[in-house]
């Protein structure tokens, strides 16, 4: 975790020097003499796609990336509240507290719909993207079609991962029917993870057959997909996400088999041979811009309302000299706080309105490797990695950790490092839950409890109920 989330200058140049222009940068590369006429780059008309299939794919790919970027803001905020990283205070609306700390099991509660409709909307965008690949016919070479499909499959798996991360044991619908009015069944958590894994593997196969270039451009200004804009390099992103998914699966029951799969995926990802200050931030990013029609970082816009949980400064596992702590926050604007769990500081992890947000980066990959090594028998190697991360990312001198005596001791160390390195990136709640540590999170006030998952929102429940098919009734729906 870097408090400023700056992209290494040897990769892209400073975000402070170059604003991220997502739509403009990507669309410029896709321009041809036949321009599509569309008011919404995500909603390409059939007529426009038929007249210019390559242009349609460019617009749709841009829309998929833009939706991923826009939806990540709400996801990080939601899981930060559930994971007790942060408290979000807007004096005019107390539901930012009660909705997440007390009423979260109510399908009508404030926040119940978070990371649901928006992710399925992007899954529909991806479904339409696949249809455009097929409809393009001979306008795309076999390699171009495979490359595009591999990109779509990787992004599809990512959207589904956000969904199962938030719904956990309730499960999710993993299929997007051809008929937009049709209702797909909700499958179990294990089935959802298998589907995500298989989709990533299918994406890898498609990218392997995709030749040397995508038939569209991915955004790179200010970070974005810099270094991963071809089917060959994008395979490394696919494998990085595969490593994350396999580690999650391993920790909730799959065990050593999935950890071994995570190590294999890491070996095919963009993880570096050594972790240094220069490659700490290597990865793919959601990027923001002040350009007309683009979006700025909403976590920056709401920074004065996002208070740091006091435990960051009081937990014994958090060294207060760690640079990830010292740079993570700034003094809050003057406001009276009455809850002892709320610090007087606000987050400074996204200090500018164009600061990018990682999708996945080298620092996380190193921590995934430590986790997988420990559970496949290399405890010395796992401990060495934790110490390396603490040194490079946290400024530790010498070795912070000695080898733990057992799994529980290692999880203590791993969660401490993941908490600091991935602070306010959407991981803490998922991490403590998958290791059975939800009880270590502070409730946050009288009558409050810690959620283990979000619910399926009421609108979805009502729609499913109207089908009259008990098999389609959503779990947890009244």
pLDDT (tens digit, 9 = 90+) per residue, 163-190? 999 999 999 999 999 998 999 999 999 9
Q: Which domain holds residue 167?
A: 22-468
Mean pLDDT of the chain: 88
Least confident range from 27-36, 61-70, 130-139, 398-407: namely: 27-36
**Distance (Å, rounded) from C-alpha 422 to C-alpha 201?**
26
- Is the residue at 316 inside a domain? yes
The reported pLDDT for the residue numbered 44 is 60
The reported pLDDT for the residue numbered 338 is 57
- Is the residue at 478 inside a domain? no
Q: How many CB atoms neighbour CB 8 within 10 A?
A: 19
- Read off the pLDDT band of 21 (50, 70, 90): very low
The reported pLDDT for the residue numbered 38 is 35
Residue 136 has pLDDT above 70, yes or no: yes
Residue 320 has pLDDT above 70, yes or no: yes
Q: Is the pLDDT higher at 49 or at 448? A: 448
Domains in the chain: how many in total?
1
Q: What is the pLDDT of residues 267-289, one digit of tens each?
A: 999 999 999 999 999 999 999 99
Tell me the whole-structure pTM to 2 decimals. Answer: 0.90
* Mean pLDDT value across residues 300-311: 89
CATH number of the domain bearing residue 140? 1.25.40.390
Cβ 328 vs Cβ 1: under 8 Å: yes
Q: What is the pLDDT of residues 227-261, one digit of tens each?
A: 999 999 999 999 999 999 999 999 999 999 999 99
- Is the residue at 352 inside a domain? yes
- Is the residue at 477 inside a domain? no
- Is the residue at 113 inside a domain? yes
- Is the residue at 476 inside a domain? no
**Distance (Å, rounded) from C-alpha 205 to C-alpha 76?**
31
- Is the residue at 3 inside a domain? no
The reported pLDDT for the residue numbered 283 is 97
- Is the residue at 265 inside a domain? yes
């Amino acid at each position: 975790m870097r408090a400023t989330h700056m992209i290494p200058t040897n990769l892209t140049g400073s975000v402070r020097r170059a604003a991220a222009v997502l739509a403009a940068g990507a669309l410029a590369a896709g321009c041809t003499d036949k321009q599509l006429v569309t008011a919404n780059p995500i909603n390409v008309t059939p007529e426009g796609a038929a007249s210019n299939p390559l242009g349609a794919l460019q617009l749709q790919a841009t829309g998929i990336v833009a939706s991923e970027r826009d939806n990540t803001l709400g996801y990080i905020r939601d899981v930060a509240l559930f994971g007790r990283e942060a408290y979000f205070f807007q004096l005019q609306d107390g539901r930012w507290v009660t909705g997440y700390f007390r009423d979260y099991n109510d399908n009508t509660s404030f926040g119940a719909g978070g990371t649901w409709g928006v992710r399925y909307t992007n899954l529909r965008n991806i479904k339409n993207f696949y249809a455009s690949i097929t409809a393009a016919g001979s306008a795309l070479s076999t390699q171009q079609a495979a490359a595009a499909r591999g990109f779509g499959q990787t992004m599809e798996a990512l959207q589904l991962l956000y969904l199962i991360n938030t719904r956990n044991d309730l499960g999710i619908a993993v299929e997007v029917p051809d008929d937009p009015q049709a209702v797909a069944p909700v499958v179990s958590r294990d089935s959802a993870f298998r589907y995500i894994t298989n989709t990533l593997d299918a994406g890898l196969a498609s990218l392997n057959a995709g030749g040397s270039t995508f038939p569209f451009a991915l955004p790179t200004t200010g970070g974005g997909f810099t270094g991963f804009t071809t089917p060959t390099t994008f395979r490394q992103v696919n494998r990085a996400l595969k490593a994350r998914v396999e580690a999650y699966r391993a920790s909730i029951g799959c065990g050593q088999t999935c950890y071994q799969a995570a190590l294999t995926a890491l070996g095919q990802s963009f993880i570096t041979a050594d972790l240094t200050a220069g490659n700490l931030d290597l990865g793919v990013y959601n990027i923001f811009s002040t350009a007309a029609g683009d979006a700025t970082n909403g976590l920056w816009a709401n920074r004065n309302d996002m208070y740091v949980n006091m435990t960051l400064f009081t937990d014994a596992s958090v060294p207060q000299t760690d640079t990830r702590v010292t740079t993570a926050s700034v003094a809050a604007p003057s406001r009276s706080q009455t809850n002892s769990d709320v610090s007087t500081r606000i987050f400074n992890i996204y200090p500018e309105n164009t600061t990018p947000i990682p999708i996945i980066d080298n620092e996380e990959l190193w921590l995934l490797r430590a986790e997988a090594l420990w559970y496949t028998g290399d405890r010395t190697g796992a401990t060495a990695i934790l110490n390396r991360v603490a040194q490079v990312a946290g400024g530790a001198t010498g070795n912070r950790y000695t080898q733990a005596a057992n799994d529980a001791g290692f999880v203590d160390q791993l969660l401490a490092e993941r908490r600091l390195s991935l602070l306010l990136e959407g991981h803490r709640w998922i991490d403590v839950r998958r290791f059975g540590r939800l009880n270590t999170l502070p409730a946050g006030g009288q009558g409050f409890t810690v959620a283990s998952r979000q619910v399926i929102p009421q609108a979805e429940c009502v729609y499913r109920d109207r089908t009259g098919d008990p098999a389609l009734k959503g779990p947890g729906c009244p």
